[in-house]
Amino acid sequence: MAAASPMTLRCLAADLAAGQTTARKLTENCLALIADPQGEGARAFISVDAQGALAAADAQDTLRKTKAAGSAFAGIPIAIKDLADIQGQVSRAGSKALKDAPPATADAPVVARLRAAGFVIAGRANMTEFAYSGLGINPHYGTPLSPWDRASKRVPGGSSSGSGVAVADGFVYGALGTDTGGSCRIPAAFNGVVGYKPTARRVPTSSVVPLSSSLDSIGPLARTVDCCQILDAVMAGEPIPEPANLTLQGLRLLVPETIVLDGLDAHVAGDFDATLSRLATAGAVVTRAKFAPFDRIAALLDKGGLSASESSAWHRKHIATKRNLYDPRVLARILRGMDQSAADYIDLLEQRTAAIAAYNQALAGFDAIVSPTIPVVAPRIADVQEEKAYNRTNMQVLRNTLMINIFDGCSIALPMMKPGAPPTSLMLSGVAMSDHRLFGIAAAVETELAA
C-alpha cells in the first residue's frame, strides 16, 4: 500500500500535536503558494484573507499550547467556496451581480462549524457564476486551470472550480464545495482529488447562496477519502470518525449499463475497466446490469428541471436590475425556469419522489453503484468557447453525477488513473443516509487502487 501523504489531515494533525509544525507555518506556506505569480492562486481564489488567516493560525497555536484547541485539526488551512457566508465578507457567488451586496453579519452554519473545529480560512475559492455549470469557466474572475496538461489550458470542472484547483495545487488542505448536480465531484475528477456529495439533509445549507433548494448539498474536496470524511463530519455536526476499516471482500457493487457508460473516451474506459478488474480480484462482487431508475432522468430535466425553476425564482429580482452583469451562458440556464408553470414544478416534485423510491428499491441488493464520475477527461477551454460546444460538453460532464442528486443519494468521486496519466475518476454512490457506509467502501477502494 502507498504511504500516507504528508498532505492528509491526520498526518498534519499528528505533526501539529508533536510540535513538528505549527498552524502559523502551515498557513504561511499556503499563502505563499497562493501568492506565487507563476501559479493559479489568483484564479483559484476570488479573495484571500491573509491577515485574518495568520491571526487565526496564531490563535490556534496558542490554544494548542494550552490544550484548548477546537479539534486535532485546528490550525489547518482550508478554502470556502465563494457562495457561503463568512462574517464581514461579501458572498459574490462568483458573480459581479452581487459585488455590492452587504457583508455577511454572521458565518454560515457550515463555516461556523469548520471555524469552531479550528480550521483556518485562507480565502474564498472561485466558482462558476451562481454554481450553474459543470465546466468551471468564470468570465468575471478568471478560470483556474486543471493541473493536468496545464499548457493546453483545460477546464477545472465546476462549479467548485477554485476548491478543486486549490486542493490539487496544495494551496489548502481541504475546501468547502457545493454539489447540486456534481459540483464537488466534477472538479475533484478533473483535478485528480476526492470530492464528496453528502445526503443533502445532513449538512445545513442556510446562509449559502442557493442554486436549487431541492438539490443543493454541501460537501468537501480534499486529498483523500479520509480527509473528506473528516470535513464532512465537521460540517454535518457529527463526531469525527476513526479511519474506515472495511474490506472489499464480498461487497456487492452494481455497474449500471444504463446511460453512465455511454460515450466513454479511451482514457476513462481503460481506467474504469482496469479498476473493476482490480476490485473483483480483491473480492468485490461486481455486477453489470440495466438500471431502470436512470431512464426516469430525461423527464425530470424537462424545461431545465428543478434547478432552472428554483434558480429563476431566486434570481428574478436580480435579473430585473442586473441582467447585463450575468454570464450569458449562466443566464440562459436560469431563464429556462421561467418557462415552467406552477403545475410543471409540482409535477417535477411528484416525479422526483417516485424516482427516489424506485432508486432505493433497485439498490436494495447492492452496497453501492460504481461508475465513471465523468465520461471524458478535462477538455481544453478553447474547445468549449462556442455556445453549442459549451452546452453539449456541460451536459456531458454533468450527466452521471446529476442523477444522484435527483435521487437524493450520497456519492463520492476518487481518482482511478495511474500516476502521471490524465485524471480520471471513479464514482461510488448509495442511497440517502448511507454516507458512513459509503465512506467505508470508498476508503477500501482507495486503498486497493493505491496498492
Alpha-carbon gap, residue 131 to 158, rounded angstroms = 7
Give the other-Cβ count within 10 Å of 47's Cβ: 14
Alpha-carbon gap, residue 50 to 55, rounded angstroms = 9
* Closest alpha carbon to 183 in 234, 154, 150, 220: 220
* Closest alpha carbon to 372 in 133, 139, 111, 189: 189
Give the other-Cβ count within 10 Å of 396's Cβ: 17
Q: What is the DSSP string of 412-434?
A: EEEE-SPTTSPP-EEEEEE-TT-
Residue 157 near residue 131 (C-beta atoms within 8 A): no
Give the other-Cβ count within 10 Å of 385's Cβ: 10
* Closest alpha carbon to 443 in 239, 298, 228, 221: 228
Instruction: Give the three cell numbers for residue 44.
Output: 483559484
Residue 162 phi, psi (nearest 5)? -65, -35
Element (H, E) at 31: helix 23-35
AA identity, residue 200:
A
Sign for the pseudo-dihedral over CA of 239, 243, 249, 255: positive
- Give, in order, the Cα–Cα distances in Å from 146 to each of 48, 158, 195: 20, 11, 15
Residues comprising the chain, all counted? 451
* Closest alpha carbon to 369 in 294, 317, 448: 294
Instruction: Give the three cell numbers for residue 244.
Output: 474506515
Instruction: Give the three cell numbers for residue 331.
Output: 443566464
Residue 17 near residue 73 (C-beta atoms within 8 A): no
Catalytically active residues are: 81, 159, 183
